[in-house]
Chain A
Amino acid sequence: DTAVSQTPKYLVTQMGNDKSIKCEQNLGHDTMYWYKQDSKKFLKIMFSYNNKELIINETVPNRFSPKSPDKAHLNLHINSLELGDSAVYFCASSQDRVLAELRETQYFGPGTRLLVL
């Protein structure tokens, strides 16, 4: 039933480890996103994919690598985790990438709470 789902919900790991977060949407949307929300609640865009193609790649360390095997899935792999990576990571999706023109918006997954020790 869940429109946008993420796994895992919680992730506690040691510095230096490599971890992955998975996202799936069953809305039939073409565009998916990764956001990072820090302790001050600011939602910052990291990446966006449209039909498996990377279209937005913000200033993010290259330890972060997104991958979209198909348009319903978007994964995020993080190498060499650092303390500053601790945050909530939200996946989102939208029908299309041109949000303003089509009056579309984004729908969020439940988030993955990452804690790096």
Chain B
Amino acid sequence: QKEVEQNSGPLSVPEGAIASLNCTYSDRVSQSFFWYRQYSGKSPELIMSIYSNGDKEDGRFTAQLNKASQYVSLLIRDSQPSDSATYLCAVATPGNTPLVFGKGTRLSVIA
């Protein structure tokens, strides 16, 4: 069974700090990796995608992928209170399958 694991949190960081969110996945053939942000009462919103080993930066967000360790992470630099949300890691595997989601990590950025 394909699984995506995340710490549920809450992860509390002070404003301006770096928030580090982690995700591991069980299926070695997974090829695409996504981070979604979900504010309370809202729908998941795609914020980052990564397909190759290494780092991918987009503004204050950096996604990191290590396929050998089956590990994906999301770094949020200069964290703001508006970053407080649940972050969902999602993984795509080859074939006719939907994304597999982790249970999400709740991030709280304290002003």
Instruction: Please report A residues at the B interface, Cβ cutoff 8 Å.
Output: 33, 40-43, 45, 48, 55-56, 90, 97-101, 103-111
Contacts and interface: CB of A to CB of B under 8 A. Distances in A.
Contacts of A40: 103
B49 A103 contact: yes
B42 interface: yes
Interface stretch (B15-23, B60-68, B73-81, B94-102): B94-102
A98 B94 contact: yes
A107 B49 CA distance: 13
Interface of B is mostly: loop
Contacts, number: 64
Given A41-B86, A90-B43, A106 B103 contact: no
Contacts of A100: 30-32, 92-95, 97
Contacts of A55: 96
Nearest to A33: B98
Nearest to A31: B98
A70 B93 CA distance: 26
B11 to A, nearest CB: 14
Contact of A97 (B32, B86, B96): B96
B38 interface: yes
B25 interface: no
A43 B44 contact: yes
Given A90-B43, A101-B31, A41 B94 contact: no
A81 B27 CA distance: 35
A105 B104 contact: no
Contacts of B95: 98, 100
